[in-house]
Amino acid sequence: MEFNGDVLTIDSSMSMKEILEFEAFIRPRLEYIEIIEISDEDALKCSALLSLLSSLKRTKSDLQIPFLDKRALSSPEYGTIHWICHD
């Protein structure tokens, strides 16, 4: 996880433990973060990260998460994953 100005960069390969740590980290700091970048998109390990990113976006609608905006992920392991956000 890297902080550069208003941009937070995270790994998509986070384990559940790391996701919980990330959640605890970002909760009090959400208002200071403008963009969340994902460094290795196709290494997603846990669907909880997808949920957390969606929740962050739902909480702060002007937050930019380019990964989430793509609405799909193609991975050698999982095939194509689409997420329907209803927003």
Partner 1 sequence: MTKQEQVKAIFIEEAGEIIEKLDIDIIRFEENSADLNLLNEIFRGVHTLKGNANAFGFTRLGEFVHHFEDVLDHYRSTKEGIEGDHLELFVGSVDVIKEVMVCELDAIEFLPQSYSECLEQIKNLIAMKKGLVPSAQLLSSEETVSDFADLASEFGFGCDEEFDNSVQSCVSRYQEMREEGLNLYKIDLMLENDCYKRGFDHLLFLKALGEKAESIESFFDMKDVWVLDGFKSDENAIKRVCIIVLTLLPRDDVDEIFEFLFDHEYKIQIIDAITKKVEPLHPQGTLHVEQKTPIKSSAPSAETTSSSIVSSKSTIRIDTFKLDELFDSVGELVIAQNFIAQNEKIGEIEDESISRTIETLSKITKRIQDRVMSLRMVAIKDTFEKMKRVVRDTSKKTGKEVHLIVQGEDTEIDKTMIDSLSDPLIHIIRNAIDHGLEADANERALGGKSSGGSVTLKAFHKSGSIVISVSDDGRGINKERVLQKAIERGVITGDENLTDSQIFSLIMQPGFSTAETISDLSGRGVGLDVVKTSIENLRGKIEIDSKVGEGTTFSMVLPLTLAIIDGMLVQATGEIYIIPTLSVVESFRPEKEIVHIVQGKGEFVSLRGQYIPIIRLSDVFELKSEPIQPWEGILVCVETESGRIAIMVDELIGRQQVVIKTLGKSLARLKEISGGAILGSGDIALILNVDELRPLNESVHV
Stretch of 3-11, 18-26, 31-39 contacting partner 1, by CB under 8 A:
18-26
CA-based torsion, 73, 76, 80, 86: positive or negative: negative
Is 35 a residue that touches partner 1 (CB under 8 A)?
Answer: no
* Contact predicate 74/80, CB 8 Å: yes
* Binder among 19, 36, 38, 63 for partner 1 (CB under 8 A): 19
Distance from the first to the final alpha carbon of the chain: 27
Is 25 a residue that touches partner 1 (CB under 8 A)?
Answer: no
Is 74 a residue that touches partner 1 (CB under 8 A)?
Answer: yes
Binding interface with partner 1 (CB under 8 A): 16, 19-20, 22-23, 27, 30, 42, 44-52, 54-56, 58-59, 74-86
